[in-house]
Chain A
Amino acid sequence: MKSLEEIVEILKNNLPDVVLEAHSEIKFEPFILIPSDKIDKVCLFLRDNPELYFDSLVNLSAVDDFNGQKIKDEQGNEIMTGGTMSVYYHLESIKFRHKLLLKVTTERDDPIVNSVVTVWNSANWHEREAFDLFGIKFNNHPDLRRILMPYDWEFGHPLRKDYQNPEFYQGMKVPY
């Protein structure tokens, strides 16, 4: 079992070019904030380091932080520009029984995060889901398609907080 401080220490010593921020002020779960273009590198290190050995990605969840500027579009609907989106990675080491939460923030208007599919295969569908529902693009993802929504859904990404339902989809009325 390694504590968060120890893990941060190991990371700082081995990956000096990655800017890390450890946050433990938010309730319940402390996390490490990592730049979105370094996440795959950090994850690969975390998996392969014999002291840490995070061999399992338990969960990957995207969040629309909804902290930009609210403006009205031409139809009068409230939409948002600016702000951030986050991706949370819950890691676990089955061997050492320790857990870690990583967080990545990216621009809400053009969210791009490096994919970790090469590190853990379990990230594959989680990242597809994040792309489908939030529109986060994952660099180097082998198969970035929609997963839960229809493949020809062209009305945006439903879990964004300012998402508007379309009137019609394929000639069918959407709001019932």
Chain B
Amino acid sequence: MSVRTEEMVLNMGPQHPSTHGVLRLELTLDGEIITKVVPHIGYLHRCFEKHCEVMTYPQIIPYTDRMDYLAAMGNEFGYVIAVEKLLGIQVPERVEYIRVIMAELQRIASHLVAIGTYGADIGAFTPFLYCFRDRERILNLFEITCGARLLYNYIWIGGLSHDLHPDFIRLTKEFIREFKPNLKELNNLLTFNKIFIDRTANVGILPLETAINFGITGPMLRASGLKWDLRKDDTYSVYNKFDFNIPVGDGRMGTVGDSWDRYFVRVLEMEESLKIIEQAIEQIPDGDVTAAIPKRIKPPVGHIYSRVENPRGELGYFIISDGSTSPFRVKVRAPSFVNLQIMDELCRGHLVADVIAILGSVDIVLGEVDR
């Protein structure tokens, strides 16, 4: 006698605690084993690219904030660099330093969310709140700088909206000093926890060849073993003046490119970001941060693709200018959008519980996927 079996289709999302927003994953299950994953996106589509075509160049900056809302500074940074390249502006040294400090603080804040929510996905809720406690301090630093905590509109074309607060340097040093032991605590509590390692090591292994072919960037690519970081490999701003390492996945707990590696690369990157901030604070020159802001922004006809290393990977802006005050076309190469494609490849043959572990390690922000 043969038993009739059938595959079950399970809709994970758009309302689900672990899809990190409004993502819908259509899972085809054989028992609890995944045979196919189809991501459905677009629930958060806000027509960013269409908006850009009717906005002037400076007006677009607040919209870029709302893409990867966990790393808004990085988004502004990338966009502003692209427009400055179109215009051919040289920005003052102090501005570049402040931008780097902000981008790196933002990277730490963003990775803290990634790590914390990853822990919560695996079932450890306490590290999540520890991470948010530390992130709160970074947000406070942003708040004294520009008044906003999440969407800043701080980095402007050719300059910044405000100079640093007089207390900023002192408070940042204080933060760095107090954050380092917290990072150790996080490692003890979550990173080297036996159950956490069992859940993430050897789960969702991403070989380097596949990763490159799928256009994966950022911590995911580095976790697969490639030393590729745009801050060093296609350097921009003043990153070439700082001394920092690029952490790569080494398969310490399992195989190179597994979920644990993707997680741990983020932890190590936070340490490297701290190093950059420490150096930048020491070297920061004086100057006027609003001096180079152009009165009239009207780039010449042409197109440019400019990219920065955002916490989630390579954030690229492809801007076509027709010589008017608003761009003819802006295409955003959002890292999460590209990274999310790999889900099917990674999840096949794993259990439902592993989908959560893999999705968390891919670390998407739906605001950026859907734009």
Which A residues form the contact surface with B (CB < 8 A)? 26-29, 55-59, 61-64, 88, 90, 94, 97, 101, 120-122, 124-126, 133, 146-150, 158-159, 161
Contact = CB atoms under 8 A, between A and B. Distances in A.
Interface of B: 41-42, 45, 47, 49-50, 53, 85-86, 210, 212-216, 226, 228, 233, 300-305, 307, 314, 316, 318, 320, 328-329, 331, 333, 337-338, 340-341, 370-371
Nearest to A26: B302
A101 B341 CA distance: 23
A27 B87 CA distance: 11
A163 to B, nearest CB: 8
Contacts of B216: 122
A45 B213 CA distance: 15
A28 B338 contact: no
Secondary structure at the B interface, as helix, strand, loop or mixed, is mixed
Contacts of A59: 305, 316, 318, 331, 333
B111 to A, nearest CB: 23
Given A29-B303, A88-B318, A120-B215, A61 B45 contact: no
A87 B113 CA distance: 36
A25 to B, nearest CB: 10
Contact of B303 (A28, A56, A64, A122): A28
B326 to A, nearest CB: 13
B42 A63 contact: no
A121 B213 contact: yes
Contacts of B318: 59, 61, 88, 90
Contacts of A149: 42, 45
A82 B304 CA distance: 26
Of B45, B215, B340, B341, which is in contact with the most chain A CB atoms at under 10 Å from its CB? Answer: B215
A158 B370 CA distance: 14
